[in-house]
Amino acid sequence: MDPIRLDVDTPSRRYTLTLGHGLLDRLAPLLDEADVPARRFVVSNALVWRLHGSRLASAGLDRPILLADGERHKQMPGVSRVHDALIRANAERSSALITFGGGVIGDMAGFAAATYLRGIALVHVPTTLLAQVDSAIGGKVGVNHPLGKNLIGAFHQPHAVFIDTSVLATLPRREFRAGLYEVIKYGMTSSPGLFDRVAHDLAAVFARDPQVLTALITESCRIKATVVAADEREAGLRRILNFGHTAGHALEAVTKYRRFRHGEAVAYGMLVAAELSVLRGALADLDRKALADLIASLGPLPSIADVSASQMIDAMQHDKKMVGGRLHFVLPTAIGATTIVDDVADSEIRTALDKVGFRK
Ligand SMILES: NC(=O)c1ccc[n+]([C@@H]2O[C@H](COP(=O)([O-])OP(=O)(O)OC[C@H]3O[C@@H](n4cnc5c(N)ncnc54)[C@H](O)[C@@H]3O)[C@@H](O)[C@H]2O)c1
Ligand SMILES: [Zn+2]
């Protein structure tokens, strides 16, 4: 099957996403075709490299810079490690950095690429479902600060993105599900067709059927690419992709980033936003139920029974999505449509949290 190509046309750069099953085995010619500078450095982690690195090594990319695995390592020391390696190798302004891993590697190495010599070419080769549908597209790169998530970063659009669905075969089921919640998010914000497709093809999705996965990933990437092209710096439209993230980020923070994968917290966040929307008469309860049923059909989520509404509200108020002191919520108005509001009262949030199962 020929690879699928999608253009991302942002004000700062125009680039192409190339999707296909088995792309990694032809990565060297694909990089050449995309005019990626010839001096190439790869950043990955030991796990991803052990599973899939040989396919890059055969493309001449045989000396990866390896970073520690895990969200807790997405911090400045990882970025410095990449800088150190680039400096020691005398990497020039005309070099390229290829990230090969999930969102943690993409964000951290992407930030190193954005800052080394004030920015070198960046190529993402995402290996988790979440990175393939979300973090590899749109140019946000950065790291966490001990006091908060993603506080240090930049916008640095990649030169190209190569998405090979075959690497998903080794992704643990929990990570795979975590990415699927973001796919459901795209369906809820922008595409009833995508929403229905996840529901309808769930067995094939979980079997990681290449054709079904390619269709889901392509549609998700198309939505993200369109939104990012219209609003690169998240001044307006791009904020719809924060659907589920106001309560989702709060839940991650309250549970100290330990209990939930990001996508799982977003799943709860989407349920909270849908309840809020129903309470306000902006969403039909039938649509809320369709979302809740689809989320439930993916399997059980970690418990929230011990997380209180007050903890959640406090954490939301510390979130970056506060604008001018007001909390913003992306509320669904139907499957595939949203509105953004900034006038939600604490009492409404409490009712919605209660309905989703948070402690009073
Ligand atoms: N830049 C953005 O726009 C953006 C958007 C969404 C999320 N993010 C960031 O992405 C990060 C989460 O990314 P993630 O969910 O990919 O997590 P991750 O990068 O931690 O990857 C999850 C786990 O899967 C492993 N893994 C990766 N590929 C694998 C494969 N093919 N087979 C087996 N194991 C594999 C990783 O080593 C890791 O242990 C967060 O830090 C989040 O802030 C960024
Ligand atoms: Zn997210």
Q: What is the pLDDT of residues 124-158, one digit of tens each?
A: 999 999 999 999 999 999 999 988 889 999 999 99
> Is residue 135 in contact with ligand 1, taking CB distance under 6 Å?
yes
Out of 242, 252, 264, 288, the active site residue is: 242
Could you tell me the distance, in angstroms and rounded to a whole number, from the CA of residue 277 to the centre of ligand 2? Answer: 20
Q: How many residues does the chain have?
A: 360
Helices (H), 151-209: 173-190, 192-200, 202-206
At 21-69, the pLDDT tens digits run 999 999 999 999 999 999 999 999 999 999 999 999 988 999 999 999 9
Q: What does the H/E/C string look like for 290-341?
A: HHHHHHHHCCCCCCCCCCEHHHHHHHHHCCCCEECCEECEEEEEECCEEEEE
pLDDT band of residue 87 (cuts 50, 70, 90) is very high
Q: What are phi and psi of 320, to 5 degrees?
A: -65, -20
Q: For position 214, what pLDDT does the model report?
A: 96
55 noted as active-site residue: no
Q: For position 149, what pLDDT does the model report?
A: 87
> Is residue 10 in contact with ligand 1, taking CB distance under 6 Å?
no
Nearest-angstrom CA–CA distance, 334 and 287: 6
Out of 262, 264, 275, 328, the active site residue is: 262
> Is residue 336 in contact with ligand 1, taking CB distance under 6 Å?
no
Q: For position 322, what pLDDT does the model report?
A: 56
Residue 1 has pLDDT above 80, yes or no: no
Nearest-atom number in ligand 1 for the CA of 70 is 20
Residue 323 has pLDDT above 70, yes or no: no
At 168-194, the pLDDT tens digits run 999 999 999 999 999 999 999 999 999
Q: For position 235, what pLDDT does the model report?
A: 83
CA 343-349-351 angle, 5° bins = 130
What 3-state class would DSSP assign to 1? coil
Residue 105 has pLDDT above 80, yes or no: yes
At 330-358, the pLDDT tens digits run 999 999 999 999 999 999 999 999 999 99
pLDDT band of residue 294 (cuts 50, 70, 90) is very high
Q: What is the pTM of this model?
A: 0.96
Phi-psi label, residue 314: left if phi above 0, alpha if psi -120 to 50, beta otherwise: alpha
Q: In the chain, pLDDT over 90 holds for what percent of residues?
A: 91
Single out the residue of 173, 176, 166, 161 nearest to residue 128, CA to CA.
Answer: 176
262 noted as active-site residue: yes
Residue 237 has pLDDT above 70, yes or no: yes
Nearest-angstrom CA–CA distance, 185 and 245: 10
